[in-house]
Amino acid sequence: MMLKIKRVPTVVSNYQKEEAEECARPAAGCGRNCLRSCCLPGAKLPMYAFNKENKVVCEKDLVNNDPPVDFLDSLLLGEWEERMQRGLFRYDVTACETKVIPGKYGFIAQLNEGRHLKKRPTEFRVDKVLQPFDVNKFNFTKVGQEEVLFQFEANENDEVQLFPNAPIDTEHSPSVVAINVSPIEYGHVLLIPRVLDCLAQRIDRESFLLALYMAVEAGNPYFRLGYNSLGAFATINHLHFQAYYLATPFPIERAPSKKITTTNGGVNISDILNYPVRGLVFYGGKTLEDLANVVSDSCICLQENNIPYNVLIADSGKRVFLFPQCYAEKQALGEVSSEILDTQVNPAVWEISGHMVLKRKEDYEEASEEKAWRLLAEVSLSEVRLQEVKELIFEAICCKIEEDKASFEESMTSQSHEDMDGINGSLTCMVPV
């Protein structure tokens, strides 16, 4: 049986049209400056070229070594604000109300009525994490070049450089950063690896390493990247990560964890504790590539076993959270309460991390920790199912589960708190009694 749900897709580009309109559009000469062969010849975009040396993931490197180019503020936000001034966004996200919900966990609620736009409902499969790329459906080659901020590539010279007007190399598909025209927060962008290769929404080692490099280059704990698989509320089957800036800690970043094991490459894997969505957290590694490989191999395992999941990259690339989830499946089977369904909240990576994007004013005004917890608990696998999934993952990455029952893994959480204390006041580790 094929599971489907009626849903309203989120609009991420101004060129996202009804499928029928896209199919009717001629293959060439579209006249709207897109990223396809009809418009690419002679096109140029800024390029941020990063140093792809085998970086070690440690606090000292990330705190003391700022990139020569002020990446986040000068380039990403500068280009993003320029697009805002040009009116390319569907609404002003800076006008959205936001508050921290009272309680131990500090869930963040945002009222974002602009993301709830009337559009013809479409059928969306939720029972297949891996689905073939469909050139006839909306994909990121169809966006206008004005929505693309810059190219993001490794530098052959092993140094960080900014090229303000770099040609687009169509033979070696560039990775690009584009605006999300329906932003959740300030600076909301999409990282699209090898955009012209038309990769389906599935993580591989190379693409995930690129996302980690972006987090490291940003060098700011308030800039996070997220990933949603198909079946876990990705709305476009074209490989992409999301990212935005939010100057407050996510509740998941403050959750305690318990170490399970350490890989041969020095990557620590821990269980997330005392949080409504069960999952794993990865950190450490002798190099950034060690961390990227373990996480991406875990994601590949989930994909190949048809298990939907979400990923959050936090702490400037130092910590990665992985959440297998089952909400869409439960929704399709009629196992989610009408009270939760009525909120029309699709719990993807940002909601799971504790940033609740609410579409109705009444839900925002009545937001509580209890309601946030109740919604997110519907997302989580059971303890028994998660244990089965962990065994699949650990077999895939050839790592034994050796639980350390003696102590909680606090070092990374404590470091994250110290980094944020200097900006946002003291934080406390939340361990409910």
**One digit per residue, pLDDT tens: the chain, 433 residues?**
444 434 445 677 766 654 444 444 444 457 778 999 889 988 999 999 998 875 555 444 444 444 444 565 678 999 999 999 999 999 999 999 999 999 999 999 999 987 655 443 444 566 799 999 999 898 999 999 999 999 999 988 878 888 999 999 888 899 999 999 999 999 999 999 999 999 999 999 999 999 999 999 988 899 999 999 999 999 899 999 999 999 999 999 999 999 999 999 999 999 999 999 999 999 999 999 999 999 999 999 999 999 999 999 999 999 999 999 999 889 888 999 999 999 999 999 999 999 999 999 999 999 999 999 999 999 999 999 999 999 999 999 987 665 544 444 444 444 444 444 433 332 322 222 2
Q: Which pair of tokens denotes residue 11?
A: 């609009």
Compute the half-sphere exposure of residue 161: CA atoms within 13 Å on the CB side of its CA.
11
> Per DSSP, what are the bridge partners of residue 355?
108
Q: How many structural domains are present in the chain?
A: 1
Give the model's pLDDT for residue 55: 59
User: Is there a domain that residue 36 lies in?
Assistant: no
User: Is there a domain that residue 39 lies in?
Assistant: no
Give the model's pLDDT for residue 233: 93
Cα–chain center distance at 140: 16
Give the model's pLDDT for residue 124: 52
Give the model's pLDDT for residue 406: 41
User: Is there a domain that residue 37 lies in?
Assistant: no
Output the domain CATH number for residue 327: 3.30.428
User: Is there a domain that residue 346 lies in?
Assistant: yes
Give the model's pLDDT for residue 371: 96
Give the model's pLDDT for residue 54: 58
Give the model's pLDDT for residue 433: 23
The CA distance from 289 to 210, in Å, is 10
Domain extent for 162 = 44-419
User: Is there a domain that residue 15 lies in?
Assistant: no
Catalytic residues: 240
Cα dihedral sign, 83-89-95-99: negative
Rg over alpha carbons for the chain, rounded to the nearest Å, is: 21
User: Is there a domain that residue 397 lies in?
Assistant: yes
User: Is there a domain that residue 425 lies in?
Assistant: no
User: Is there a domain that residue 23 lies in?
Assistant: no
> Please, what is the end-to-end C-alpha distance for the chain in angstroms?
43
The CA distance from 191 to 103, in Å, is 34
Give the model's pLDDT for residue 117: 56
Give the model's pLDDT for residue 2: 44
